[in-house]
A and B are shown apart, each in its own frame.
Chain A
Amino acid sequence: MPDTRSPLDGTWDVLVAGGGNAALCAAIAARRAGRSVLVVEAAPRFYRGGNTRHTRNMRCAHDHATETLTGPYIEEEFLDDLMRVTGGNTDEALSRHMIAESKSMLDWIQEQGVRFQPSLGGTLSLGRTNSFFLGGGRSMLNSLYATAERLGVHVVYDAEVVALDIEGRTFRAATVRHGDADTRVEAAAFVAACGGFEANIEWLKEGWGEKADNFLIRGTPYNRGTVTRMLIDAGMQQIGDPTQCHAVAIDARAPKFDGGIITRLDCVVFGVVMNRDCERFYDEGEDIWPKRYAIWGRLVAEQPGQIAYVVFDAPNIKRFMPSLFPPVEAPSLRELAEKLELDPEKFEATVTAFNDAVVGGFPFDHTEPDGNRTEGLAIGKSNWAQKIETPPFYAYPVRPGITFTYLGVKIDSQARILTGDGNGTPSDNMFAAGEIMAGNVLGQGYAAGIGMTIGAVFGRIAGQEAARHGA
C-alpha cells in the first residue's frame, strides 16, 4: 500500500519557517531542549538556506585572540562599530543583548559542527573581528543541517508557508504548501526565520517605485517576504520601511538573482564613476573600504536607468579583487564610450575635466586616504584621484545589487514577535530570527558579518524560548 502521509504530518512542538542560519540555530536549540521540531524550507534542497549560502563570516565579540582570530574584539568595540554604521539607528538594548550573546556563539556554533578558518585573502581588515567559515556559507549550512538531522530535527524542502492561523496573540497553525498539497501544521510555537523580501520586486517597488525593476538581487530568489506580510497583516508590529536594505554596486551583467559574491566590484576608488549621461554624481574618494562599498548601491539607484560606469585606466587593473566578468576594454576613451553605448564627446569631456582637476602628487595608496584629490570640480574626488590617461582604458557597468532587506517584525530580547496593539505586547508563542527581524538591530547601514550574528544569536534565543513557551 502506498504511503499517503505527508512528510509534514506529525505532532510538532516547534514549527520553524525558513532554512538558513537563523532557522537552523533555532531548530537545533529547540531540539536540544527536547522539543519535536519541524523545519519547512521553501527552497529545494540545493537552494536551501537562503542568503546564508552566500555568506562567509560572522562577527562575534571575543576577549582574546583565537586560532583563527588575530586579536580581541570586546563588546564595547562591537557596540561602537554598530552605533557608527547605523548612525545610532538601532534598538540599543537589543543590540547590547545580541553582542553579549555573540560571545558564547563562537563556541556554540562550532559545537554544532561549523568550522572556522583565518580570514580569506583580500579580507585582512576583518581578520580580528570576523570569524570565517571554512568552505563558506554553504559549508556552514551543510554542517548545521547534518547536526540538526542527527539530533532528530525534521526538515522538509519545497515547503512554503502560505497561510497562518493566528488568534489574537497566539499562533495556532500554519498552512504549508508542499507539492500540490496544502497541509495544516499545528505547533505549540512558531519561529519565523525565513529571510527578507528582496526577491519580491513588487514589494520593493512600494519603497523604490519603478526603479526596483532595475535592481539585481544578489541572493536567493526564495526570499519573497510571504511570512513577513502575513505576520504584519495578522497584527504584528512592523519594523523598518521598504527602502531600507543593504545595497551595493555590482556588475550590471550579473544574473537577476543569486549572483552572490562573485559579481561584486570594489574598484570605485581607482577611477571615476559616471551615469549614463556621462556625468559624475558622487565623490569616489570619500571613504575607505568597506564603508564606501555599502553606499554605492543606493547612489546608483538614484541615477537614470539605475546604471553607472566605473572608468579607470591600465595601471589599476590589478589593484582589486578579480570578479566574474572582465571589464569592457578599449584603446581610447572614445572607443570605450562607444562600446558602452555612451556619448563619446561627453564621456571624454568628463574624463578630461576630471584629469585637469587632479592635484596632490602623493604616492597612490588605496589603503588609506592619500591626499590625491581634485580641485575646482562641482563634485570632487577627495582622495585617490589619479589621471585617467594610460591605455588601455577600462569600464565596468554597475547596477544596485540588493543583498538583504530590513523591513520585518519587531521583537523583544526573547525574540518574541511584538503585537501591534500600541503597548507592544509580546505574542504568546511566535518568535522571529534572522533577516526578518534584522531591522531591530540595523535601522540602516551594515558592517560585515552582522547579518549572520543576528541570525545565529536570535535563532538560538528563538529556539530556546520557543522550547520553553511551546512545552
Chain B
Amino acid sequence: MEHKTAALAEADRLMTVCNSCRYCEGLCAVFPAMEMRRSFADGDLTYLANLCHNCTACYHDCQFAPPHEFAVNVPKVLAEVRNDSYAQYAWPAALRPVFRRNGLWIGLACAALVTLFLIGTFLWNGAEMFSAHTAPENFYALMPHNVMVALFGPAFLFAILAITMGARAFWRDISARDMGDGAGQAGIDHARAGHDAGALTYLDGGGDGCMNADEQTSDNRKLWHHLTFYGFLLCFASTSTGTLYHYLLGREAPYPWWDLPVVLGTVGGIGLVAGTLGLLRAKLRQYRDVRDETRFGMDTAFIAMLFATGLTGLLLLVLRATPAMGVLLAVHLGVVMTLFLTAPYGKFVHGIYRYLALARYARERRGALGAQHA
C-alpha cells in the first residue's frame, strides 16, 4: 500500500508483523483495533498511532524488537506517526511548520508575549507596577478586568476554533470505515472514550503499570499525568469560577484564600507543578530506543508551559500583596496567553486526538461485539 510518509510505511510494516503475532493484544487498545483490520491505510495508522499511549510495554515484550532482524519498535514508530498527525491536521495550514521546531517556536512565543505584557503593564502603569497593591482591587489596579477579557477572550476563542477545525479533519480521516449506525449510540461511545481518556485506562501496560526506563513496570507517568491534567482542569475551573463570580454575582477579585477560585487555583497549581516535574523526569529517563527524538522539543515545551503556568500562578497568589505582584502578573498573563495561542500548534492537541481515537475505538468495539452476538 502507498503511504504519504516513511513513518506511515514503517507503521504499516509493523502492523503487518504484529497482526500475524498478536501476543500484545491484552496490553492496550491498539492491538485489538489492529486485529479488526487486515490492511492499513494512512487513516487507519493515524488512528492506531493516536490510540497508543506510549506505555512501551509492547516494545519490551516483543521477541522481534531490535536487534532482531524484524526490528519491531511499535512505540517509537507510532510516536512518529502520531506526532506527524498533529502537524498534518493543524489549522490553518500555514502554521503547520510550527511543529517542525516546536520547542523553539513556543519558547520564542512565550518570550515575546511575556515581554509584551511586561512592557504593556509598565507603559500603562509606570512605576506603579513595582509597588505593593493591597487595596481590594489589586490586580485590576494594574490591568482592568475588561482589558484582560478583551485580550484573553479572543485568544481563547481562536484556540477553540483552530483545535475544532483540526479535530474535524482528524475525525473524518480516521472514520473512513464508518459503520453508519446513526448517532443514537454515539453518546455511549463518547462516554466510554471520556472515561478511558480521563482514567488513562490504556496507560498501564495491561494492568501492572507502564514501562519507561527499562522492562520493569515501575513507571509513574499515570500519576504525573493525572496531577497535570486534573491540575490544569482545576486551574481552568478556578478562572471560570472567577469569571462567573465577576459577571453573575458581581463579586470581584481578589478573593480570600478560602474562596472557590483561590482554592481551585491553588490545588490545581500545585498539581500542575508537581505533575509536570514528574512527567519531565519520566521523559528524561525514557528508554532511548523508543523515543521519537525529533519531537523532544515539542513534548518538553508543552510540559514547560504547563509548569510555568502553575508556578507563576502560585507565586502570584503567594506574593500578591508584595511589590513583586506587578511583574508576576505580567509574566503569568504572558505565559497563559502563550498556552492559549499555541495550544493548537503543540502537544496540547494530543489530548483531543487521543480522545477521538478512543471514541472511534469504543464504536468499533461495540460493532465487533455486535457482530459476534449477531
Q: Given A134-B206, A138-B62, A142-B215, is A46 in contact with B67 using a C-beta cutoff of 8 Å?
A: yes
A146 in contact with B216 (CB, 8 Å): yes
Distance of A117 Cα from B206 Cα, bound (Å): 9
Residues of chain B from 225 to 264 with CB closer than 8 A to chain A in the complex: none
B35 in contact with A324 (CB, 8 Å): no
Tell whether A258 is near chain B: CB-to-CB under 8 Å. Answer: yes
B35 in contact with A262 (CB, 8 Å): no
Tell whether B64 is near chain A: CB-to-CB under 8 Å. Answer: yes
A262 in contact with B61 (CB, 8 Å): no
A117 in contact with B20 (CB, 8 Å): no
Q: Which of B24-32, B85-93, B112-120, B132-140 contacts A (4 or more CB under 8 A)?
A: B24-32
Residues in B whose Cβ lies below 8 Å from that of A271: none
Tell whether A449 is near chain B: CB-to-CB under 8 Å. Answer: no
Q: Which of A58-66, A94-102, A153-161, A315-323 contacts B (4 or more CB under 8 A)?
A: A315-323
Q: List 27 A-B contacts (CB under 8 A).
A: A46-B67, A117-B206, A118-B26, A120-B26, A121-B32, A132-B26, A135-B23, A135-B26, A135-B61, A135-B206, A136-B24, A136-B61, A137-B23, A138-B60, A138-B63, A139-B23, A139-B61, A142-B61, A258-B69, A260-B63, A260-B64, A262-B17, A262-B70, A318-B38, A322-B16, A322-B20, A324-B17
A329 to chain B, nearest CB (A): 14
Instruction: Return the contact of B206 from the options A115, A122, A260 (Cβ within 8 A).
Output: A115
Distance of A46 Cα from B205 Cα, bound (Å): 20
Distance of A132 Cα from B21 Cα, bound (Å): 13
Distance of A11 Cα from B221 Cα, bound (Å): 41
Instruction: Return the contact of A121 from the options B35, B58, B70 (Cβ within 8 A).
Output: B35
Residues of chain A from 42 to 64 with CB closer than 8 A to chain B in the complex: 46, 53-54, 56
Residue in A closest to B38 when the chains form the complex, CB atoms? A322
Residues in B whose Cβ lies below 8 Å from that of A258: 68-69
Tell whether A261 is near chain B: CB-to-CB under 8 Å. Answer: yes
Distance of A46 Cα from B68 Cα, bound (Å): 9
A136 in contact with B63 (CB, 8 Å): yes
B207 in contact with A324 (CB, 8 Å): no
Most B CB contacts (10 A, CB to CB) among A54, A121, A255 go to A121
B20 in contact with A135 (CB, 8 Å): no
B64 in contact with A322 (CB, 8 Å): no
Residues in A whose Cβ lies below 8 Å from that of B216: 146
Distance of A427 Cα from B19 Cα, bound (Å): 47
Residue in A closest to B65 when the chains form the complex, CB atoms? A46
B219 to chain A, nearest CB (A): 14
Most B CB contacts (10 A, CB to CB) among A46, A53, A137, A324 go to A324
Residues in A whose Cβ lies below 8 Å from that of B17: 262, 324
Residues of chain B from 26 to 73 with CB closer than 8 A to chain A in the complex: 26-27, 32, 35, 38, 57-58, 60-65, 67-70
Q: Given A142-B61, A322-B16, is A134 in contact with B207 using a C-beta cutoff of 8 Å?
A: yes
Tell whether B208 is near chain A: CB-to-CB under 8 Å. Answer: yes
B63 in contact with A53 (CB, 8 Å): yes
Instruction: Return the contact of B22 from the options A122, A133, A138, A260 (Cβ within 8 A).
Output: A122
A262 in contact with B206 (CB, 8 Å): no
B60 in contact with A139 (CB, 8 Å): yes
Distance of A136 Cα from B207 Cα, bound (Å): 14
Q: Given A134-B26, A137-B63, A139-B61, is A255 in contact with B69 using a C-beta cutoff of 8 Å?
A: yes
A138 in contact with B20 (CB, 8 Å): no
Q: Given A46-B67, A138-B62, is A121 in contact with B21 using a C-beta cutoff of 8 Å?
A: no
Residues in B whose Cβ lies below 8 Å from that of A138: 60-63
Distance of A262 Cα from B23 Cα, bound (Å): 10
Residues of chain A from 252 to 271 with CB closer than 8 A to chain B in the complex: 255, 258, 260-264
Residues in B whose Cβ lies below 8 Å from that of A260: 21, 63-64
Residues in B whose Cβ lies below 8 Å from that of A117: 25-26, 206
A361 to chain B, nearest CB (A): 26
Residues in B whose Cβ lies below 8 Å from that of A321: 20
Residues in B whose Cβ lies below 8 Å from that of A142: 60-61, 215
Residues of chain B from 315 to 349 with CB closer than 8 A to chain A in the complex: none
Instruction: Return the contact of A120 from the options B25, B65, B68, B208 (Cβ within 8 A).
Output: B25
Residues in B whose Cβ lies below 8 Å from that of A139: 23, 57, 60-61
Distance of A138 Cα from B211 Cα, bound (Å): 14
Q: Given A134-B206, A262-B17, is A120 in contact with B23 using a C-beta cutoff of 8 Å?
A: yes
A333 to chain B, nearest CB (A): 24
B190-226 toward A: CB 8 Å interface, digit per residue (1/0)? Answer: 0000000000000001111000000110000000000
Residues in B whose Cβ lies below 8 Å from that of A264: 20
Residues of chain A from 140 to 184 with CB closer than 8 A to chain B in the complex: 142, 146
B114 to chain A, nearest CB (A): 46
Residues in A whose Cβ lies below 8 Å from that of B61: 135-136, 138-139, 142
Residues in A whose Cβ lies below 8 Å from that of B35: 121
Given contacts A115-B208, A134-B26, 14 further A-B contacts (CB under 8 A): A54-B63, A115-B207, A120-B26, A134-B27, A135-B23, A135-B27, A135-B57, A138-B62, A139-B61, A260-B63, A260-B64, A261-B21, A318-B38, A324-B20
Residue in B closest to A52 when the chains form the complex, CB atoms? B63
B208 in contact with A322 (CB, 8 Å): no
Distance of A262 Cα from B38 Cα, bound (Å): 14
Distance of A274 Cα from B206 Cα, bound (Å): 43
A322 in contact with B63 (CB, 8 Å): no
B234 to chain A, nearest CB (A): 35
A135 in contact with B69 (CB, 8 Å): no
Residues in A whose Cβ lies below 8 Å from that of B57: 135, 139
B54 to chain A, nearest CB (A): 16
Distance of A132 Cα from B38 Cα, bound (Å): 23
Residues in B whose Cβ lies below 8 Å from that of A54: 63
A19-57 toward B: CB 8 Å interface, digit per residue (1/0)? Answer: 000000000000000000000000000100000011010
